[in-house]
Amino acid sequence: MAMEKAFNAAEAEGRLFEAWEKAGCFKAGANAKPEASTYCIMIPPPNVTGVLHMGHAFNNTLQDILIRWKRMQGFDTLWQPGTDHAGIATQMVVERELAKNQQPSRAELGREKFLEKVWAWKEQSGGTIINQLKRLGSSCDFDRTAFTMAGAAGDTRTGHENSPNFHDAVIKVFVEMYNKGLIYRGKRLVNWDPHFETAISDLEVENIEVAGHMWHFKYPLAGGATYTYVEKDEDGNVTLEEVRDYISIATTRPETMLGDGAVAVHPDDARYAPIVGKLVEIPIVPKEHRRLIPIITDEYPDMNFGSGAVKITGAHDFNDYQVAKRGGIPMYRLMDTKGAMRADGAPYGEEAAKAQAHAKGAEFTEGEIDAINLVPEHLRGLDRFEARKAVVDEITSEGLAVMQTLTKTVKDDEGNETEVSEVVPMVENKPIMQPFGDRSKVVIEPMLTDQWFVDAEKVVGPALDAVKDGTVKILPESGEKTYYHWLENIEPWCISRQLWWGHQIPVWFGPQYDENRECIDMLGEMFCAANFEEAKTQAAQKYSEKFGYTVEVVEQLVPDQSVAERKEPMPTAQGIEGKGIVRIALSRDPDVLDTWFSSGLWPIGTLGWPEWGEDTSKYFPTSTLITGQDILFFWVARMMMMQLAVVDEIPFDTVYLHGLVRDAKGKKMSKSTGNVVDPLEIIDEYGADALRFTNAAMASLGGVLKLDMKRIEGYRNFVTKLWQASSYGDSQIDAFSAERGAEPPAATLPLNRWIIGEIAKVREEVDAAFDAFRFNDAANGLYAFFWNTFCARYLEFTKPIFFSEDQAAKDETQATYAWAIDQALILMHPIMPFVTEEIWNVTEGRGFETGEASKMLAHAPWPTYTAADLVDAEAEAEMSWVIAVIDNVRSARAEVNVPAGAKVPMVVTQIDAQGQEYWDRNEALIKRFARIDSLTAVDEAPKGCIAIAAPGASFGLPLAEIIDVAKEKARLEKNLGKLAKELGGLRGRLKNPKFAASAPPEVVAEARENLAAREEEEAKISEALARISEIA
RNA sequence: GGGCGAUUAGCUCAGUGGUAGAGCACUUCGUUGACAUCGAAGGGGUCACAAGUUCGAACCUUGUAUCGCCCA
């Protein structure tokens, strides 16, 4: 059967993938040997809204390589696919979709209807990325495709995915962690996205450097107090001394001044020492209501930055929050959920008075503090950026901006230049790091809100220990250091999101009463349970115990502000129908969980937990996790913490971390830069195998991933090379008609015995590389073997055999060639599944006709032969000698410009018995590839002969009349130069007595052998040089 | 500012103690019966710098310089 001229990837890939799936090649346990160990990889679930990008392509290539390799080895494999519900991203996509189709908005629809829309969208479009994974050749068990929201309220399908219990698992874990005190609720400063109106995780914040301004304002000392401000240079000389009645503050966010709680200076800062503890006035809002705040000391301010004094706004800045917590400084929330200045509450005067009372020590509850609105009337409701302008203008017009004198040159109408000085407010233009929501692209606002937190410090221990004691390995090793560093400094993890799409927090709030049945807080009691029934039972019990009534609990869906403010007293039993029953309403927390909370359970949740099924016992803990180092903290570490906290087991034993895929120059791929490479376009143009091979070749441990089109093209050429070599075996030498199996054929010819040994060496190399996650070593080893050894040598060397009449040699070589190609296909299949499977099937004796998995390369047994089994040292020595002679002749010819096409005679002046034997057996081969037409034995090389040195032999090309003697002389001298350098090194080492004494014996022996060989070569070339010099 | 890492051929990168490699690019030659998505031959590196450990350092240690990434 004649093969096509080249592999048609575009045509073949879909067809092959379908055949694999139809045959069930990728099902869990497919091709497993009896009693096989398991090998399981959990895919890092891409967002259900996602499309395949280069990062996915890279990441999944590596996973697929390992899974295919283990599957061929007969492990019981499972590669678990699935998608992440991706809270914000999905909610945004659906909202946008609604807007595009002029449908009612999220707010108009309400929660339930909106969620119906999201589920419908998920059904329709959620499979995109899964199908794209198939184009890459990913051999996941797609029948088990899981989803992190599967089983949650509204899921339109059940049982279709292997994670019907995923929601149950998430809820169970929340309840358990709550009951163990690992999850708590509290008011903390969090990253707030004013567009989506939710708290978000650190991962969802992008810090971007933008052009910003730094304003300098004066905070007057209370009561007109003054002090002497002294500045000194490094040597202690006074450079400035003046009496001031203010402290100068620098800020990039003037609008937050309204919420200042203090001004902080460094404890070592002598400039401000006289006024520490004094009060200053916040220079904004109507004079009569201005608040006074203290000057405090804290390590946080940098004495050398700005004025060295900073304002502390605990509710709107993360650094200030820490300072405020340390110093007991009050924090006042200034903005609403949309990032506008608050418009609620009492007139400013009243609110400011409350704040002042609070600052003086009056008792306030957390809720009462939060209710204080310190935004003056004229700024209420303004967007935060408009408010900033207004604040700056007000302060400046009052003369409290720090001023500076600018001198500039102006030209009048006649062109005369004059210098004009003006005094302007001091505003520095400087780049500042600003946080943006990665989805919303709006500036993130630190916001003090009630949120749920995982007390990470309490669960971090086992996760740290598992890596420290080597139970879990992180590659590259530097990842372990990063892991330790983060876990050892872990912060509470904010897990609540003010979204609708996600796992709703299983906590119901109920009213809290004091002993007198007066309501303290309508939402003050919390009942955490897997479902409402259990929460009801808990609540009924609690209230009954407290008040001795039978309590009937009813749910009220939305715990809005009006509920919180009602403060109805505890109803008495007589109050309701005189039956001794009271009704109390519970309302469920409307918030949902951080997506990372649920994906933290991905390994165990997809395996059926909380039920311990057969799959759970079999595949959990899983084996290898391959993921980007950017989510080491957000996902990997959390999986470790959560699995260990919940079932006391590690989730996987090895983590392989890789970097970001960048463009050829090392730049991040981004839409705005326009350097995004679409993996699907690459697959269309070059084929999935070329992309996969490139990915494997790039994947050095800890390496930077720069995707160069030239490289992809090169590996596409490699695919062609493989195809051509197979085609040669097919049409030129009819190799595939030979009977062949897994065992190498019984070969007698050194050529065949040699290539069999070379295959065994590559097999060991590839296995060692995969074992160590050194994908690049495997790829490079296969590439070099196949191109340089198999094609450039072995394939060429089979030609003289097939042009001869030696039928036995032909038969043996056909069988060996076919076996060698088979082995190459097997070894390359994990990296390049498509082209290898296609060749496997189009070559004679195989095919997809039956559609059976056992006939497919994907299930071919992985070889276990070793170099020790198959390498024939004699055959290897012989072939190296042959190759050395050919290469030396070719090199010499090219350098002295013997026409490449010309066949020339050769003489031999000296040859040992071994060499003679090699020559006799390989004469046709050497003559063909060195382009020699005859060999004559002579006593002495003719004058002007080109010298060819080979181990144990001296040849010459008697071409004095056609070659350039000067060039030959130069060639020999160059060779001698190279040898001299090598010899110098070797002799130097061997002469040093300490070398022989200290170096391992095999190193010394190798150096000796090397020296002998180099000396022999040097002698031959020197002799040739002397001879050629006679005629020059 | 803290943490992690990098610096090797023109370019992109391998190489964790035995004297430096690959791909691309470059030069010269070549339609020699698998392949021009190719073949043959070749040029090109005091492995950022300095000191140290060692018989021996691109590799280990320390310092310096430059550049990345993450966190503040």
Q: Which nucleotide is nearest to A720 (CA to C1')?
A: B37
Instruction: Determine which helix (DSSP H) or strand (DSSP E) holds A1013, and give its type and residue range.
Output: helix A1001-1031
Q: How confident is the model at residue A572 (pLDDT cuts 50, 70, 90)?
A: low
Report the amino acid identity of residue A946: I
Strand B close to A494 by CB, under 7 A: no
In this structure, are A248 and A120 located in the same domain? no
Residue A681 has pLDDT above 80, yes or no: yes
Strand partners, A350: none
Find the mean pLDDT for residues A774-795.
94
- Residue A200 CB: number of other CB atoms within 10 A? 25
Q: How confident is the model at residue A791 (pLDDT cuts 50, 70, 90)?
A: very high
Q: How far is the CA of A342 from the C1' of B13 (A)?
A: 56
CA atoms within 13 A on the CB side of A95: 19
Find the mean pLDDT for residues A572-583.
55
- Residue A485 CB: number of other CB atoms within 10 A? 10
For residue A152, what pLDDT is reported? 85
Find the mean pLDDT for residues A967-979.
83
pLDDT for A699-748, tens place per residue? 888 778 888 888 999 999 999 999 999 999 998 999 998 888 889 999 99
Mean pLDDT of all residues belonging to chain A: 86
In this structure, are A463 and A536 located in the same domain? no
Lowest mean pLDDT among A456-470, A572-586, A627-641: A572-586
Residue A580 has pLDDT above 60, yes or no: no
Strand B close to A855 by CB, under 7 A: no
The pair of structure tokens assigned to A855 is 């006939």
Q: Which nucleotide is nearest to A790 (CA to C1')?
A: B34
Strand B close to A492 by CB, under 7 A: no
More confident residue, A577 or A353: A353
Amino acid whose CA is nearest the C1' of B13: A698
Residues 685-704 of A with CB under 7 A from strand B: 700-704
Residue A797 has pLDDT above 90, yes or no: yes
Is A162 in contact with A83 (CB distance < 8 Å)? no
Find the mean pLDDT for residues A962-984.
81
- Those residues whose C-beta lies under 8 Å from the C-beta of residue A449, and which sit 6 or more positions away, are A187, A188, A190, A192, A199
Q: How far is the CA of A829 from the C1' of B47 (A)?
A: 35
Rounded CA gap, A33 and A826, in Å? 18
Residue A849 has pLDDT above 80, yes or no: no
Q: Judging by DSSP bridges, how do beta strands A652-658 and A622-628 pair with one another?
A: parallel
In this structure, are A542 and A652 located in the same domain? no
**A443 lies in some domain:** no
Report the amino acid identity of residue A744: P
| Among A589, A617, A651, residue at a domain's last position | A589
**A408 lies in some domain:** no
Residues 774-793 of A with CB under 7 A from strand B: 774, 776-777, 780, 783-784, 787-788, 791-792
Residue A579 has pLDDT above 80, yes or no: no
For position A487, which CATH number holds? 3.40.50.620
Find the mean pLDDT for residues A826-847.
90
Q: How far is the CA of A431 from the C1' of B25 (A)?
A: 40
- Which residue has tokens 């070894």? A827
Residue A558 has pLDDT above 60, yes or no: no
Q: Which nucleotide is nearest to A667 (CA to C1')?
A: B68
pLDDT for A20-38, tens place per residue? 999 999 999 999 999 999 9
Q: Which nucleotide is nearest to A729 (CA to C1')?
A: B34
The pair of structure tokens assigned to A234 is 């490094």
**A197 lies in some domain:** no
For residue A560, what pLDDT is reported? 54
Q: How far is the CA of A815 from the C1' of B34 (A)?
A: 17
Q: Which nucleotide is nearest to A633 (CA to C1')?
A: B70
pLDDT for A881-921, tens place per residue? 999 999 999 988 888 888 888 889 999 999 999 999 999 99
In this structure, are A581 and A604 located in the same domain? no
For residue A629, what pLDDT is reported? 86
Residues 878-917 of A with CB under 7 A from strand B: 887, 890-891, 894-895, 899-901
Q: For chain B, which bases have at least one atom within 7 A of a protein Cβ?
A: 3-6, 12-16, 18-19, 22-25, 28-35, 37-43, 54-56, 69-72
In this structure, are A288 and A388 located in the same domain? yes
Amino acid whose CA is nearest the C1' of B37: A717
Residues 615-634 of A with CB under 7 A from strand B: 630
Q: How far is the CA of A702 from the C1' of B5 (A)?
A: 9
In this structure, are A897 and A838 located in the same domain? no
Q: For chain A, how many structural domains are there in total? A: 5
Q: How far is the CA of A720 from the C1' of B35 (A)?
A: 8
Residue A847 has pLDDT above 60, yes or no: yes
Which DSSP letter does residue A786 get? I
In this structure, are A397 and A472 located in the same domain? no
Strand B close to A438 by CB, under 7 A: no
Amino acid whose CA is nearest the C1' of B38: A721
Q: How confident is the model at residue A969 (pLDDT cuts 50, 70, 90)?
A: confident
Residues 990-1019 of A with CB under 7 A from strand B: 992, 994-995, 998-1000, 1003, 1006
Q: How far is the CA of A2 from the C1' of B59 (A)?
A: 51
Is A811 in contact with A738 (CB distance < 8 Å)? yes
Find the mean pLDDT for residues A243-261.
85
Q: How confident is the model at residue A869 (pLDDT cuts 50, 70, 90)?
A: very high
In this structure, are A263 and A123 located in the same domain? no
Residues 334-353 of A with CB under 7 A from strand B: none
Q: How far is the CA of A776 from the C1' of B9 (A)?
A: 20
Which ipTM did the prediction report?
0.95
Strand B close to A803 by CB, under 7 A: yes
Find the mean pLDDT for residues A642-671.
86
For residue A362, what pLDDT is reported? 80
Amino acid whose CA is nearest the C1' of B4: A482
Rounded CA gap, A780 and A787, in Å? 10
Q: How far is the CA of A84 from the C1' of B22 (A)?
A: 39
Strand B close to A434 by CB, under 7 A: no
Maximum average pLDDT range among A54-58, A357-361, A407-411 = A54-58
Q: Which nucleotide is nearest to A985 (CA to C1')?
A: B19
Is A390 in contact with A397 (CB distance < 8 Å)? no
pTM: 0.88
| Among A638, A659, A680, residue at a domain's last position | A659
Q: How confident is the model at residue A566 (pLDDT cuts 50, 70, 90)?
A: low
**A420 lies in some domain:** no
Give the domain extent around A560. Answer: 507-589
**A813 lies in some domain:** yes
Q: Which nucleotide is nearest to A717 (CA to C1')?
A: B37
Is A867 in contact with A861 (CB distance < 8 Å)? no
Residue A164 has pLDDT above 80, yes or no: no
Residues 966-985 of A with CB under 7 A from strand B: 974, 985
| Residue A876: C-alpha distances to residues A367, A751, A1009 (Å) | 84, 8, 18
| Among A612, A641, A659, residue at a domain's last position | A659
For position A811, which CATH number holds? 1.10.730.10
Q: How far is the CA of A476 from the C1' of B61 (A)?
A: 22
Residues 656-675 of A with CB under 7 A from strand B: 664-666, 668
Is A909 in contact with A939 (CB distance < 8 Å)? yes
Lowest mean pLDDT among A426-430, A623-627, A760-764, A836-840: A426-430
Residues 727-756 of A with CB under 7 A from strand B: 727-728, 732
Is A149 in contact with A612 (CB distance < 8 Å)? no
Strand B close to A710 by CB, under 7 A: yes
Q: Which nucleotide is nearest to A322 (CA to C1')?
A: B72
**A200 lies in some domain:** no
Q: How far is the CA of A985 from the C1' of B59 (A)?
A: 19
The pair of structure tokens assigned to A967 is 């060039």
Find the mean pLDDT for residues A486-495.
85
Residue A1 has pLDDT above 60, yes or no: no
* SS3 track for A334-369: CECCCCEECCCCCCHHHHHHHHHHHHCCCCCCHHHH
pLDDT for A87-119, tens place per residue? 888 888 888 888 888 888 888 888 888 999 899
Q: Which nucleotide is nearest to A984 (CA to C1')?
A: B19
Amino acid whose CA is nearest the C1' of B21: A780
For residue A269, what pLDDT is reported? 82
Residue A419 has pLDDT above 80, yes or no: no
Strand B close to A131 by CB, under 7 A: no
Residue A158 has pLDDT above 70, yes or no: no
Q: How far is the CA of A159 from the C1' of B6 (A)?
A: 49
Strand B close to A708 by CB, under 7 A: yes
Find the mean pLDDT for residues A607-621.
89
For residue A771, what pLDDT is reported? 92
Q: What is the percent of chain A where pLDDT is above 70?
A: 96
Residue A962 has pLDDT above 80, yes or no: no
- Report the Cα–Cα distance between both ends of chain A, in Å, rounded: 59
Q: How far is the CA of A894 from the C1' of B43 (A)?
A: 14
Is A366 in contact with A481 (CB distance < 8 Å)? no
Strand B close to A714 by CB, under 7 A: yes
Strand B close to A305 by CB, under 7 A: no
**A61 lies in some domain:** no
For position A318, which CATH number holds? 3.90.740.10
Q: How confident is the model at residue A163 (pLDDT cuts 50, 70, 90)?
A: low
In this structure, are A597 and A585 located in the same domain? no
Amino acid whose CA is nearest the C1' of B36: A717
In this structure, are A556 and A605 located in the same domain? no
In this structure, are A631 and A575 located in the same domain? no
More confident residue, A88 or A812: A812
For residue A641, what pLDDT is reported? 92
Strand B close to A987 by CB, under 7 A: no
Residues 358-397 of A with CB under 7 A from strand B: none
In this structure, are A280 and A322 located in the same domain? yes
More confident residue, A1015 or A791: A791
**A415 lies in some domain:** no
Find the mean pLDDT for residues A430-435.
81
